Structure 1
Amino acid sequence: MSSSQDQSSLIDELRKAVAARDDFIAVVAHELRNPMTPIAGQLELLVARARSEGASAAMLAGLERLELAVAHYIRRASVLLDVSRVNADNLCLEPSTFDMAELIAQTSRNYRLLAERAGSSLQCHAQPPVIGTWDRLSSEQMLDNLVSNAIRYGAGKPITIGLQEAPHGIVLWVQDQGIGIAPEAQARIFERFGQAGGGRTNGGFGVGLWLVRRLVEAQGGQIQVLSKPAHGSTFTVRLPRDITQHNPASPST
């Protein structure tokens, strides 16, 4: 067997190994995440009941901390699942028509408690309706990552989520007033495992913004960041109004 054949065989074996790894990660992430969803639902009911029945402040605070911990666990498992899907070229979009302003408002409500725990306020500037055709799950994941990122690095200052209509689509942004990102790191943060450094590492996977970029681009959009150290960051996403016209094949690139 020639050296070129040996090399081709080795490459083929490596590809199979990577595919097997991604399949394994997908199964594990799925099995870790799914049982937590009903638990999260029960916790939400318990918190609501505790509030309505006048539970003690200590009990309510404990339930809220548990609710946040479960939500954080689910988000981390979801990131693993999403990354494995993207790596395996298995990111199949499911376009549907919905109100992006409503989705942004829901995201703001979902993260309000987490933001308050970090000392930040969440301000939402998105007047409904802003109707279009996008992949709802990918849009939710994109917003979740951007908002949680802003809370993590927002230094306890106000965070703004905004949305406006554009001639050929929509523009949405998430702005914080936190520690910011050095100019030389701003391109790197969209790479896989490309944390910015300079105090921004936090024990995460380092794939959140890479995943956001992939989800945005899969819908025919673009993402950019404007940031200055100690003056915060603004992540801006531009999406077409109808991804089926710009992305009919639902690519997973």
Structure 2
Amino acid sequence: MTTPSPTADQERLIEELRAAIAARDEFIAIAAHELRNPMTPIVGQVQLLLSRARRERASPALLQGLETLEVAVDHYVRRATTLLEITRLNAEDVRLEPTAFDLCELVRACIRKYEQLAGHAGSTLGCDLAGPVDGTWDHLATEQILDNLVSNAIRYGDGKPVRVELESDPEWVELRVIDHGIGIAPADRERIFQRFQRASGAPRSGGFGIGLWLSSRLVQAQGGSMALQSEPGSGSTFIVRLPRDVMAHAKIA
């Protein structure tokens, strides 16, 4: 049985829909860019004031207020960045910019960044790293993958310890983000990697429900894979495998 060819009216409608989607994505990209860029000097000023307050031993109330402001501004910037990345992925316009760096250092920087957020959640954040792990990856994409997984682990970790582990061999690295929180039901394990999806029973506050979809796409773009091990009530382990040389395996260039 042959499939009938679309009529001229159907083809025109399809083109109009494609144009509308492209215009929507362009608008979102421009809006995200314009919302994110003015925050850069604000972030710098908040960090400067916080550093000065710590150096001058300011009151605990002032320090706590500045630390809370730093977290809020960081969340804002990350959400704007996420919107920008969504439009790029929808258009299959992911441009990798591989650079050589030590993945251990990126993990340590992420731990420092989220220690305060973990503390607010009643959790601790640690890592298990075996020496430098040098390779060639897209720094921004890899940082965003790590940020999404660590922030999710803290959010859904039920106030229990969160740990990041890193192992490597000459060809591949394996990154694991482990929490001991609410866990993910078997029926949700595929669905949560789709856009605008959350696990059943997950908190509704914060985010767009696209962090895991975005992370998995950025992992795939670098020729890697992402897996999940989880049981309800026993926590979750997200496992990211990346090649040491992303350009030898990248799927989107």
With normalisation by structure 2, the TM-score equals 0.95
Deviations 1:55-113 (A, max 9, x none): 11111111111111111111111111111111122110001111011101111111111
Which of 40, 43, 48 aligns to 1:40? It is 43
Whether the 8 Å contact between 1:102 and 1:128 is mirrored in structure 2 is no
- Between the two proteins, the alignment pairs up a number of residues equal to 249
Deviations 1:168-225 (A, max 9, x none): 2100010000100001100111011121122343342111000000000000000011
Counterpart residue number, 1:165:
168
Counterpart residue number, 1:123:
126
User: How far 1:240 moved relative to its partner?
Assistant: 0.6
Identity %: 57
What residue identity is the alignment partner of 2:252? P
1:20 is paired with a residue of what secondary structure? helix
Q: Do the aligned partners of residues 3 and 130 (structure 1) sit closer, same or farther apart at CA in structure 2, a change above 3 Å counting?
A: closer
Q: Return 214-223 or 116-125, whichever deviates more.
A: 116-125
Structure 2 CA distance for aligned equivalents of residues 3 and 53 of structure 1: 71
1:194 is paired with a residue of what secondary structure? coil
What residue identity is the alignment partner of 1:223? M
Does 2:149 correspond to 1:146?
A: yes
What residue identity is the alignment partner of 2:138? D
Structure 1 CA distance for aligned equivalents of residues 183 and 205 of structure 2: 15
Counterpart residue number, 1:182:
185
Counterpart residue number, 1:251:
252
Counterpart residue number, 1:74:
77
Counterpart residue number, 2:21:
18
Structure 1 CA distance for aligned equivalents of residues 241 and 169 of structure 2: 9
What residue identity is the alignment partner of 1:138? A
Whether the 8 Å contact between 2:150 and 2:177 is mirrored in structure 1 is yes
1:54 is paired with a residue of what secondary structure? coil
What residue identity is the alignment partner of 2:48? L
User: How far 1:114 moved relative to its partner?
Assistant: 0.7
What residue identity is the alignment partner of 1:121? T
Structure 2 CA distance for aligned equivalents of residues 110 and 204 of structure 1: 18
Whether the 8 Å contact between 2:170 and 2:244 is mirrored in structure 1 is no
Unaligned runs of 5+ in 2: none
Whether the 8 Å contact between 1:221 and 1:237 is mirrored in structure 2 is yes
Structure 2 CA distance for aligned equivalents of residues 244 and 59 of structure 1: 47
Structure 1 CA distance for aligned equivalents of residues 81 and 131 of structure 2: 28
1:96 is paired with a residue of what secondary structure? strand
Whether the 8 Å contact between 1:36 and 1:74 is mirrored in structure 2 is yes
Which of 94, 98, 106 aligns to 2:97? It is 94
1:119 is paired with a residue of what secondary structure? coil
What residue identity is the alignment partner of 1:99? D
What residue identity is the alignment partner of 1:245? A
What residue identity is the alignment partner of 1:135? D
What residue identity is the alignment partner of 1:172? L
Deviations 1:7-26 (A, max 9, x none): 11111111111011001000
User: How far 1:167 moved relative to its partner?
Assistant: 4.9
Structure 2 CA distance for aligned equivalents of residues 202 and 225 of structure 1: 22
Structure 2 CA distance for aligned equivalents of residues 58 and 66 of structure 1: 12
Structure 2 CA distance for aligned equivalents of residues 47 and 200 of structure 1: 30
Structure 2 CA distance for aligned equivalents of residues 203 and 60 of structure 1: 24
With normalisation by structure 1, the TM-score equals 0.95
Structure 2 CA distance for aligned equivalents of residues 137 and 59 of structure 1: 32
Does 2:247 correspond to 1:238?
A: no
Root mean square deviation of aligned Cα = 1.3
Whether the 8 Å contact between 1:99 and 1:128 is mirrored in structure 2 is no
